[in-house]
Amino acid sequence: MAFDFGAWLQKAMEEKGEGGTSLYSPETLQDVVALALISGGEPLTGLPPPVAKILGSFFIRAGVTGAADPKQALEAYFAQHPVPPALTESLQRELKRNPGMQSLRIGAIRG
């Protein structure tokens, strides 16, 4: 069975913390999507409009748009807004269940 990034993300969106509030903010989940796309090593062209919108919003929020050094802007953003370890650990567990996938591919996000 192939890894379904969309299903994994939906599950993360539905996770609740104490008091029944969402465990992760929309921005945190957008950060995960953006990080997966950026680290996928594939061109960021041809994304579905909703995914392209998430990525564009992330680039603006992270200060990448218009930055003299986009890589430095990304590093500074994630230093200030690290992805929660529980999310990265969950994603890594899912990827390990699919031995054929060495890393998350953009195709898994593109649907």
- Looking at residue 82, its pLDDT comes to 93
> Domain spans of the chain?
5-15+23-110
The enclosing H or E element of 16 equals: none
- Looking at residue 55, its pLDDT comes to 92
**What DSSP string runs through 24-47?**
S-HHHHHHHHHHHHHHT-S---S-
Considering the chain, what is the average pLDDT of its residues?
Answer: 84
- Looking at residue 101, its pLDDT comes to 53
Quote the distance between the C-alpha of residue 42 and its chain's center. Answer: 14
pTM metric for this prediction = 0.78
Is-contact 99 93, C-beta < 8 A? no
- Looking at residue 40, its pLDDT comes to 75
Once rounded to an integer, what is the mean pLDDT over residues 67-92?
92
**pLDDT class for 111, splitting at 50, 70, 90?**
very low
Beta bridge partners of 22: 16
Chain segment 26-72, per-residue pLDDT in tens: 999 999 989 888 887 777 888 888 888 999 999 999 999 999 999 99
